[in-house]
Each structure stands twice: as structure tokens, then as C-alpha cells.
Chain A
Amino acid sequence: MVFSSLEFLFLYLTLTLLIYFIVPLKLRNIVLLIVSLIFYGWGEPVYVFLMMFTIAVDYVFGLFVEKNLLAGNKKRAKGHMIAAIVINLAILGFFKYYDFFVSNLHLIPGLDWIPLLEIGLPIGISFYTFQALSYVIDVYRGDTGAQHNVASFGAYVTLYPQLIAGPIVRYKDVDDQLTVREHSVPLFAEGTRTFIAGMCKKIFFANMAGQLWEYFKAVPLDDRTVLGTWMGMICYAFQIYFDFSGYSDMAIGLGKMIGFRFLENFNYPYISKSITEFWRRWHISLSTWFREYVYIPLGGNRCSKLKQLRNIFAVWFLTGFWHGASWNYILWGLYYFVLLMIEKLFLLKKLEKAPAFVSHIYTLFFVLFGWLLFVFEDLGAGMVYLGNMFGVGVSGFASGLDVYNLVRNLGFFAVLAIASTPLPKKLYYRLTEKSTAVRYMASFGTIIALLMCVAYLVDSTFNPFLYFRF
């Protein structure tokens, strides 16, 4: 199920909130586990069993690791941790990457007998597997104790707000909250605001931008133009940002309603002045995960230059591959590896001295081409599109339709651009701090925005879910 849907608002959330707040405190984690499993099984009921298996494995291995640590047997603890990692990665590898590997093996003569499985990817598997891994590793590192209550542990893995599209919550960040958390009116109200803001991002910004991207992408090759392809790519950049960050906001908001405080996942990435900065602001929970569980264990930057290079390469290869089982994602990851290396070597210093608009344009430009690699799984089609953007094989610079679409969407584009900066939030805080009247207006505005979201959902022909590949 996705948050931006009528059945979520009017069936799922209404019932789950009701049950959650009716039952006594000590039963709430069990309720959370059950409703999260229902949430997960909504589209693909069968995979609920896979999820339960993952929970069981990590729960048991977590206990083993802790027991061995307490007994002073670090080696055995390590063995158990590695076993858990292997099992988790095997499941992820099988469901997500099997067909990718096999189809590549097929390129080798004599190996084309290996069958493809074409099984559907369990939604959110990349997200929850990483959460489960963080748990076992944190326990091994002694950053946290093991969770002895299986319901609480299950609730952590399946917690429906962040189950299918993050943020990737590390166990140590919510350990305390699983046992004791604050349920309060101000927090619930804050959660409501964050949730509705996220929903607006998804429905008004991401879906509408996405619709335009689909439109521009579908223009027949003979009719492509420079302006049209640029508008298309920019729309996609807006779509993926607002879709993803909107989803994170909805997750964070829903979490607050039931007393969880998750860390922010996006911090206005499009205002970055370098690629390095961009990756500090984009999908923060994923970058943090790779830093904590891949980069630093490999030695991080406290080793020889060559090893450091290897470590950074590993992180970006994996970041790319994590996003999807296809070469273009790997290429996308390595593209950032190269850019980040260049910045580390000399460019970052130059960018700091350059005028702000130069570094902004530089960053957006390269991020935009990153999205081009990201969005075209068919590299050939992607290269044709790239050519079109620079006037290769186009029918002209701009068609009448491009001008029409540009002019009628000027207001929309301006709103998207402003909404990508912290300005609206700053303005909101400044105005609400000064006057209570504005706060009242904002409360009513929130509810009107919710009703408008409903209106757009009722009449929605376009409400895609971008994370099926992750």
C-alpha cells in the first residue's frame, strides 16, 4: 500500500490509529507489528511470510550475538553476525539480483541454459534488509543490546511508516523508542503537519512533474527537441526529489503520530553547491548506512590512499547497485564516484572560491545528468535522449508544443523551484512565530490542503510508485 492513496487514508490509517490508541501501552508494539504486516501484504500477500522469516532470523541471531558477547566469546559472536549478514544478503540477492546476474551470464556462450525466474521484487526489501542488518551489526558492536521482545523487534523491522521507502532507520536510533515513546498532542499535531506536507509534495509536485516527464519522454524520436528534452529531464529531477522526500516526510509524520522520531532523510539537496554537499543532503539515511556499515569497517579514510580509493569505490558501486538490478544504476553510482573523486582532489576548493551561482549551476547540471543515467535502464535510449538534449537528432530547438507547455507550466515550475529551497519553511516559521492568528490559519490551511490531496487522488490517473526497483 502507498500513503498517497484513498484506501490508506480512509481505511488503513483510520482503523490502525483507532486500534493503536485504544489498546493498552504494552500491546501497542504487537498491534504495530500486525498492522505493519497487513500494510506490507496489501499488494503482495505472499511476501509477508518472507518478511516473517527475516524477522525470525535476525531476532534469533541478535540474541545469539548478544549471548556470546556477554560470555566473552567475541569470535563466536562475530560468526553469528556474519551468518545473519549472509542470510539477509542471500535473500536480497536472490529476490533482487538473481535475474540480473543470470541474464548477464547468458551473454557467455554455453551458459544460456540457466533459467530466469522473473519473480516479483518484494516491495521495500532493500530498505528493510538494510534495517535488519544494522540491527545485528549494532548488537555485535555493542552499540545496543539485543531486543528480547519479538513483537518489538518485529515492529522495528516492519514499522509501516518507513517500511517500503525509508528512511532507513538504524536500530540504535529507535531502540529506546521501541520500549518507551512519547504519545502527545503536540507531537501528533506536528506529525499531522509533516504527513500532509509530504502528501502535498507527492501529489501536487511529484505526480504532476512526473506526468510531464512521461509526456516529454514519450515524444516520438522524430519530434524531439532540445527544449522539450531539457524540460523533460528537469521535470524528472523534480519528480524524484518530491516523490522521495515527500514519501520520507509522510513516513516521518506518521512516525510522530505514533511516537517515533525518525531522522530527516532529505535536506534540500538541490540547493547544494557541490556534488559532495548534494550527497550530504540527499537520502541521508542511505549514505549514513553505507558510511557506518561499509566505508568505516573497510578502514574509511584512516588507511593508505589506495585503500581509501577502494573503499570509496565500493561505497559508490554498492550505492548504485542498491538502487536497482541493472547496469545503469551501477553506472550512476560510479558516475558519482568519479565526480566525488574529482571534487576531493581539487575541484571542491575551487568551487568554494567560485561565485555561488557557478557552483549551483555546476551541481544541478551534473545531478541532472546523473538522473538521466538513473532513469533510463536502457542505456541506448538514454544516450539518444542525451544527444537530443544537445541537439543531436532533434527536429529543432523548440516546437510550438514546447512553447505552449513551457508557458502554461511557468508558474508550476517556479513553485517547484521555490519548494526545493528552505524558503517556504523559513517563511512558515517566521510568520507563525510572530502571530498566533497565522498559526490558526495554517491549521485550517493544512486541512484544506489535505482535502485538495483527496480531490487529486479521486481524480488521479497518474500516481506512480517509484520504489519498486529499490
Chain B
Amino acid sequence: MKKYKAYDIITIAGLLAVMYGFSIATLIVPDKEFSEDENRYLQQKPKFSIDSLVKGKFTQEIGEYYADQIPLRNLFVGAKAVTEIASGKQENDDILLGSDGYIIAKDDYADYEEIDRNLKAVQRFNDALGEEIDFRVAIAGRSQDVLTGYVPALYPAEEVSDKLFAYVNEGLDGVQTVELLEPLRSRADAGEYVYYRTDHHWTTLGAYYAYVEIMNSYGIEPYPLEHYTQEKVSDAFYGTTWSKAGMKWIDPDDMLYFRWSGDEDMVTEIVDSGETMQGMYDRSYLDKKDKYSSFIGGNNGHVRITRADGVERETLLLVKDSFGHSLAPFLAEHFDLEIIDLRYYKLPLIDFVNECGASRVLVMYNMDSVTSSNSLAMLNLGIK
């Protein structure tokens, strides 16, 4: 028999080992249904049908199946992130590796047309509301807007976000606004833990500072920080940014509730489903990855927070994205809250304003919802 070169044998054996090893392992290792790390359902073995074959769906799902179910998937994802960072790119999959353990999702260029559509709807809504209703808009910064002191070297975070905020503020001309960017950014700069390191939301402390700004804008005295008992409910919160970044070495966040005496006596009613819960926190989420959803029960179209004893107070209509979830418990100490999320609430909001008898309407969104979703444009619904 001919004698082969050992390095040739190694090359071929290596190729075959990788190919057959992973191909067999993918088939025999039981499929996972859900990825905790990435917080999404994984592709299962695709079901064959002529129809799905002809449409190309079957073959596409096979590709996704291998990507999702390959053994050591997390190791591969992490290895890629390490390689990207080690090669000096400072980011992976559009997530910046910041300092002090912060990872920050970035969006360099906004979609101005989307912004215009959203802001026009806000303007029209403002015009359509009666004079007797107090209407305010508060736009929170994204991590990249607030954590400008923590981004990688040379990333012009301030330049990018100041330009965007100037554009948005101009588009909100004539509408009463509450400034949230600068107060939170300066606190972040001072080293305060106002945004999560691994998630796109603000921390409960960040939400508190937003509450302070909103109340000051209303001319109502906010409660001081000492008013609350801080309860640490998790020290292992891995947020959405962490899920996308692949940077497995990044430490998790802490999550706190800022409790006030009597907050247990509030009733949170998920109007969509008719469910109610005592207090404002759904602690069942604390055992899952998506811990942020424990604030007022997560994403729902319409939520109502009132006092359990039935005493009625002034009603505030909070129109919000998920940033409003950790803000709501602070506002609930002052107001009965009707909380609307325009991603899920598909009825004309203008009608609901009159229906619910709110004297104040607060639209509180983070910049990401303004630039890359059509939520605010939904304000237009029902306005002639």
C-alpha cells in the first residue's frame, strides 16, 4: 500500500471528523425548544410536505435547524464574538463593547422618514386633544444616548445622539415635552447605575430619575429617594443586549424594585385578558430570563393600576413602550393609571382619552421606538 503523508491524513480526518461529528451529533442530541440565552424559540426539525418544498420553506428551515440545534451552539456564538473583539472591531453584531461591563446596542443612522411619520402623528394627536387635557411627551434616550461615557474609543455617541434628539425635538415643536436625556446622561456620567449593563432598558434607579423629571414638569413634588425601600430581586439578569452580543463573558445585571409603603395594595389589571394581580410586580418572571417583564406584568396592550380600596384619584393616561413598565410603579403612587402600549392596542386612542376620563396624557417612549417602529403613528387612528 502506498504510504500517505501524515499531514494529508490529518487534514482529511479533521474535515471528516468535523463534518460527520457535527452532522451526527445534531441529529442525535435532543432538540432544544427554547434558547434562554437568546430568549427565542428555536427551529425544530422541519416537517416535509410537497407544498413547503416547492415554496422553498422546507429547505430554508433545514438551514435554520442546523444553525439553531447544532451542538455547542453557544460556544460557537461566543467564539465568534471573541474573534471579532480580538481583531479590534470593538463590536459584534452591532453591539458595542463598552467600558465598566457595559454592552450597548448601536444604531448609527436613523430612519428620518419613520421619525417624521411618528412625530406628525404626535402633532396631530396634540392638536386633536382638548385644551383641558394636559398632554406631554417624554422621549427617553437609548443606552447609546445615555451611556455616552462608556462607549468604545472613538465612537462618537454624543454626536450621533445629540443630532438625533435635536431633530426629534424640532419635530415636537409646539408640544409640551419633558427632557429625560440630559438628566439621565449626566447621572450615568457620574457613575450612577441608571441603565442596565446588558439590557436596553433603564434600571429602576433610571426610571426613578425619569419620574422625578416628569413630576417636576407637572409641578408636583416627587418623593425623594429615601422614601423607597430598595429590594434586590435578582443579581442574575441577562438582558436583551447580552442575548444579541454573543459576549458570554459579560456579567449579569442586578434588578431592584423600589418599594413604597402601600404598593402591595395596588391592583394591576391586565385589561386585554381580564386578569388582575395584587401589587405591581409579577414575580413569576424573576425565575425566567425575561426578568424585566415582572414590572406590571410585561407587554400588554392595556393595563390599569388603581388602589385596591377603591379610592379614586386623578387619572393619568400613560402611553408608553416597555420603558414605561418600570416607571409606572412610581407614578402609581400619585395617580390612577391607564397604561396603553400602541404596539398591541389597536383601537383609536383619541376615543379612549375621553372614555377613561384622564386629565393628563403622558406619551413616554424611548428613542428606539421613535426611530424604528410605527407605534407612535398609531396615535393617528380615529383622528379625522
Q: Name A residues whose Cβ lies closer than 8 Å to a Cβ of B.
A: 1, 5-7, 9-11, 13-14, 42-46, 185-186, 188-189, 192-193, 196, 215, 218-220, 222-223, 399-401, 403-404, 407-412, 436, 439-440, 442-444, 446-447, 450-452, 454-461
Contact = CB atoms under 8 A, between A and B. Distances in A.
A6 B70 contact: yes
Contacts of A457: 67
B80 A455 contact: yes
A44 B53 CA distance: 9
A300 to B, nearest CB: 44
A443 B77 CA distance: 24
B72 to A, nearest CB: 9
B19 interface: yes
Nearest to A442: B7
Interface residues of B, number: 51
Given A412-B89, A443-B11, A7 B79 contact: no
Nearest to B24: A14
B112 interface: yes
Contacts, number: 147
B22 to A, nearest CB: 5
Interface in B353-380: none
Which among A9, A193, A223, A454 has the greatest number of chain B C-beta atoms within 10 A? A454
B155 A11 contact: no
A43 B56 contact: yes
Which of A13, A219, A443 has most chain B Cβ within 10 Å? A443
Interface of B: 4-12, 14-15, 17-20, 22-23, 26, 53-54, 56, 59, 62-63, 66-67, 70, 73, 76-77, 79-81, 83, 87-91, 93, 108-110, 112, 152, 154-156, 159-160, 246
Given A9-B19, A10-B19, A42-B59, A440 B76 contact: no
Given A189-B5, A407-B154, 15 more contacts: A6-B66, A192-B15, A222-B112, A401-B156, A404-B154, A404-B155, A439-B7, A446-B14, A451-B18, A451-B79, A456-B80, A458-B70, A459-B76, A459-B80, A460-B67
29 contacts: A6-B63, A6-B66, A7-B62, A7-B63, A43-B59, A45-B53, A46-B54, A186-B8, A188-B12, A192-B11, A192-B12, A218-B109, A220-B110, A223-B109, A400-B154, A400-B160, A404-B155, A407-B154, A408-B91, A410-B88, A440-B6, A443-B10, A444-B14, A452-B80, A454-B76, A455-B77, A456-B80, A457-B67, A458-B76
Contact of A10 (B23, B80, B87): B23
A136 to B, nearest CB: 32
Nearest to B66: A6
Contact of A411 (B81, B88, B155): B88
A14 B90 contact: no
A457 B73 CA distance: 11
Between A7, A9, A457, the greatest number of chain B beta carbons within 10 A of the residue's beta carbon is seen for A7
Contacts of B76: 454-455, 458-459
Contacts of B20: 14
Contacts of A222: 112
B58 to A, nearest CB: 9
Contacts of A440: 6-7, 10
Q: Which of A43, A411, A451 has the most CB of B within 10 A?
A: A451
A9 B6 CA distance: 24
Contacts of B63: 5-7
B300 to A, nearest CB: 30
Contacts of A443: 7-8, 10-11, 14
Contacts of B109: 218-220, 223
Contacts of A447: 10-11, 14-15, 17-18
A245 to B, nearest CB: 21
Contacts of A45: 53-54, 56
A458 B77 contact: yes
